[in-house]
Each structure stands twice: as C-alpha cells, then as structure tokens.
Amino acid sequence: MTLEVAITFELNGRPSTAAVPVDRSALAMLREQFGLTGAKLACGEGECGACTILVDGRSVNACLMAAVDCDGRTIETIEGLRDADGLHPMQQAFVDHGAIQCGYCMPGMIMQAKYLADRQPDLSREALRRGLEGNICRCTGYQKVFDAVAAAAGLPKENQP
C-alpha cells in the first residue's frame, strides 16, 4: 500500500478533507476522490494546460501539483466558478462567443482566462495571448477564446495585434 497522508483544504469554497497517496497529483485527487472531472488529464507533463486549476489564487497545472501539498491551501476548479444565479461571466462569455467546440481543453482554458482577467484588469490583447500560451486548443484556433476573454474582461474591441 502506498503511504497516505491526511490533508485538509478549501475546495471551491468548502472545507474538505482527503487521505491522499503521497505520490498522487492534485489532478488525480480531484478527479478520482472528489468526482471533479472538469480538469482533464491530457498530457501529464504541464505542456497543455487542460488540467489548470487555481491554488491559493494562482493558476497551476494540477497534473504537476502534488496532492499532499494541497494541505492548508485554497483550491478552485471549474466546477466552483458558477454560482446559484448561473454561469460565471467568463464561462458565459465562452458560450456566447462560440469559443467552445469539443470543449475538452475548456475547463483549463477558462480557469486560466479567469486568472488572467482577475489579476490584470487592464489586460492587453498581447498579454492575453501570452497568458494563454500554456493552454493548447486543437479545435478553435484561439480566435474566439480571445474574443470571449476580451468581452468578459471588458477590453476594448480591437483588431488582432
């Protein structure tokens, strides 16, 4: 049996506990122990961003985040974004702007987009493109993702740089 450690942390605004094998990733913990399958395992090496979650307010690849180190931290996943009234404005913008096709990369993309918009309210188009460099999408070509984030973040409508 693999060594396990008990951890407590805040998950999508709620206090949570788990017993995690010490070599487990946060991604595996979220998916297998909490049923939060929004974040995806798509590469397992931090190259694609499909597993992006927020830890203590910063975006990280959950596949590279040690579950044991979630102890005492604040974790936010895509499932925690919406509230009783409906979708988070960033989620709604992705829907409204046609930024979602197969959607597999979108939980990670939306979490990263939210992180960028919250961190930098005057996000430039160029900074937005850089900020999404760790999120791979094979379907959309990114155009409508930029449009959605720009709309949700209230950026002026302008041509691509």
Partner 1 sequence: MKPIEKKSVIGGRVPKPDAPDKAIGRTQYINDIELPRQLVGKILHTDRPHARIRGIDTAAARALPGVHAVLTGDDVPVMIFGMNKDNVPLKKGKVRCIRDEVAAVAAETEAICDEALRLITVDYEDLPGVFDPAEAMQPGAPAVHDDRPDNLSLAYKFDHGDIGAAEAESDVVIDDVFNVHYVTHCCMGPGCVIADFDTDGRLTIYSQTQYPYNFKMDLAPALGMHPGDIRVIQPPVGGAFGSKLDVYPFEPVAALLARAARRPVKLVFSREEEFINAPTRQPARIHLRTGATRDGILTFRDVNCLLNNGAYTSWGPTTPYVMMRTFSSHFRVPNVRYRSQAVYTNNPYAGSFRGYGNVQATYASASHMDMLAERLGMDLLELCLKNAQVSGEVSPQGSRLNDMAFVECLTVAGEKTDFTAKAARYAAERDRPGRIKRGIGLASSIHNAGGAKIHKSDGCGTMLKLDDYARCTVITGASEIGQGIDAVICQIVTEELGIPMADIIVANDDTAIAPWDVGVHASRTTFIAGNGAQRAAQKAREQILRAASHQANLPWDALDLREGWVVQNENGEPVVKLDKLLREMHFQDEPELVMVADYYEPPSEAEGPNHTGDMSAAYSHAVHVAEIEVDTETGEVHVLKVTSVQDVGRVINEMGLEAQVEGGIIMGLGYALSEELKIEDGIVKNPSFRDYKLVTAPEVPELELHFIESDSKTGPMGAKGIAELPTIVIAPAVANAVYNATGVRFRDPPLTPEKVARAIYEHRSPKVAAE
Partner 2 sequence: MTSVTAVEGGPEEYAAATSVEQAVQFLAGGDGTILAGGTDLMVEAGRAVTNCKRLLNIRRIDDLRGVTEEDGQISVGALTSVSDMLADPVLVAEAPILADTADRFASDQIRNMATIGGNVCNASPAGDLILPLLILDAELELVAWREGGLATRRVALGDFFTGPGQTVREPDELLTAVTFAAPGDGFRALFMKSGPRPALEIATVAAALGLRLDNGAVSHVRLAFGSVAPTPIRARQTEAYLQGKELNDSVIEEAGAMAAEEVTPIDDVRASAWYRRHLAGVYTRRLLGNDT
CA–CA separation, 135 and 146 (whole Å): 12
Residue with tokens 């990114």: 142
Q: Which residues contact 84 (CB under 8 A, 6 or more apart)?
A: none
**β-strand pairing of 14-21 with 58-61:** unpaired
105's contact among partner 2, partner 1, none, with CB below 5 to 8 A by partner kind, is: partner 1
The closest alpha carbon to 24, from 65, 76, 58, belongs to: 65
Give me the least distance between CB of 134 and partner 1, in Å please. Answer: 8
Name the residue nearer to partner 2 (CB basis): 22 or 95: 22
Name the residue nearer to partner 2 (CB basis): 23 or 32: 23
The residues facing 53 across adjacent strands are 60
58's contact among partner 1, partner 2, none, with CB below 5 to 8 A by partner kind, is: partner 2
Asked if 115 and 54 touch (Cβ cutoff 8 Å), the reply is yes
Work out whether 136 is an interface residue with partner 1 (CB under 8 A).
yes
Residue with tokens 């996943």: 77
Among 18, 25, 38, 155, binds partner 1 (CB under 8 A): 38
Work out whether 110 is an interface residue with partner 1 (CB under 8 A).
yes
71's contact among partner 1, partner 2, none, with CB below 5 to 8 A by partner kind, is: partner 2
115's contact among partner 1, partner 2, none, with CB below 5 to 8 A by partner kind, is: partner 2
Name the residue nearer to partner 2 (CB basis): 116 or 148: 116
